[in-house]
Amino acid sequence: MGEILVGTASWTDKTLLGSGWYPPDATTPELRLRHYAGRFPVVEVDATYYALPAEHTARLWADRTPEGFVFDVKAFSLLTTHPTRPAALPRDLRERAGRDGRNLYAHELDAAVVDQVWERFVSALLPLREAGKLGAVLFQFPRWFPAGRRNRHYILECKRRCDPLPISVEFRNRTWMTEENRAGTLDFLRSYAIPYVCVDMPQGHPCSIPPVAAATAGLGIVRFHGRSEKWTSHDIYQRFGYRYSAEELREWVPRLCELAGETSSTHALMNNCYRDYAQTGAAQLASLLAAVPACPVRPPAPAE
């Protein structure tokens, strides 16, 4: 049975910084990351979705966290078929894209520019892999990415392009996990050892994915997005600003223990990022799991 690592999908959100969760003397990015890593063994990097990461930054993340700490990293928006602001690209690639300020899509750009984006994204994260601190690169595909042969091929292209970095996949189009497609989707991911990202999220929307706990690789991942009644709001804090109850978190305890029995490691990440909601929920979930003798939860590594 693999260990369960509980953490959050951010440590730098501006509302978190203003919530009082960090001590007053944690005034720099380094001190905040060290404080976080003293309380949780895993974190998801969200900033890499909005801009290409820098190798120097990834090296600092590795240096500032204890041995055994793990980073999951969101894939850059251009690589997941999301619209991307031109300003998110490095200046030289932005000039080659030439889109007059309009949002960029990979399929509309010169192939050489897209190749460069892939190469720079992967190379920037290599320090995390070299340090043994990379969990997986999360490809969160949008609601306009339905189940089908073309998109399965694209997922395999993402896996190939990211090599040697492992990837994981989260869907926001319900066709992947309908009752008639669910087994095929999971079998496809399992055949290529790509982790399926399980989700807890509001139901009843076109982008809603059911809360299915399934292992398709050695790494299991569950992301908790909250259950906000304002899921369709354009305000991200209304969408994700949801505080889980103990009963809602307890629903996932047997599912996470089951995933742990089928994987070498399972990441449970709270993505309800508003003030300290995610950090509070993660600590509560870790306590609930620790109360189950047969469910191994990894404690935070000792501070260096």
- Assess if residue 81 is contained within a domain: yes
3-state helix, strand, coil in the chain (%, to 5): 40, 15, 45
Over residues 126-149, the mean pLDDT reads 98
- Assess if residue 295 is contained within a domain: no
β-sheet bridge partners, residue 89: none
pLDDT digit string, tens, across residues 92-136: 998 888 767 789 999 999 999 999 999 999 999 999 999 999 999
% of residues, the chain, pLDDT over 90:
91
- Assess if residue 129 is contained within a domain: yes
Query: CA neighbours within 13 Å on the CB side: how many for 11?
Result: 27
In the chain, the number of structural domains is 1
DSSP letters spanning 45-86:
E-HHHHS---HHHHHHHHHTS-TT-EEEEEPPGGGGT--B-G
Per-residue pLDDT at 278 exceeds 90 = yes
% of residues, the chain, pLDDT over 70:
98
- Assess if residue 304 is contained within a domain: no
Q: State residue 294's pLDDT score.
A: 87
- Assess if residue 85 is contained within a domain: yes
pLDDT band at 304 (very low <50, low <70, confident <90, very high): low
- Which pTM does this prediction carry? 0.95
Per-residue pLDDT at 184 exceeds 80 = yes
Domain residue limits at 267: 3-290
Higher model confidence: residue 254 or residue 102? 254
Per-residue pLDDT at 303 exceeds 70 = no
- Assess if residue 267 is contained within a domain: yes
Strand boundaries in the chain, DSSP class E: 3-8, 42-45, 70-74, 134-140, 167-170, 197-200, 219-224, 265-270
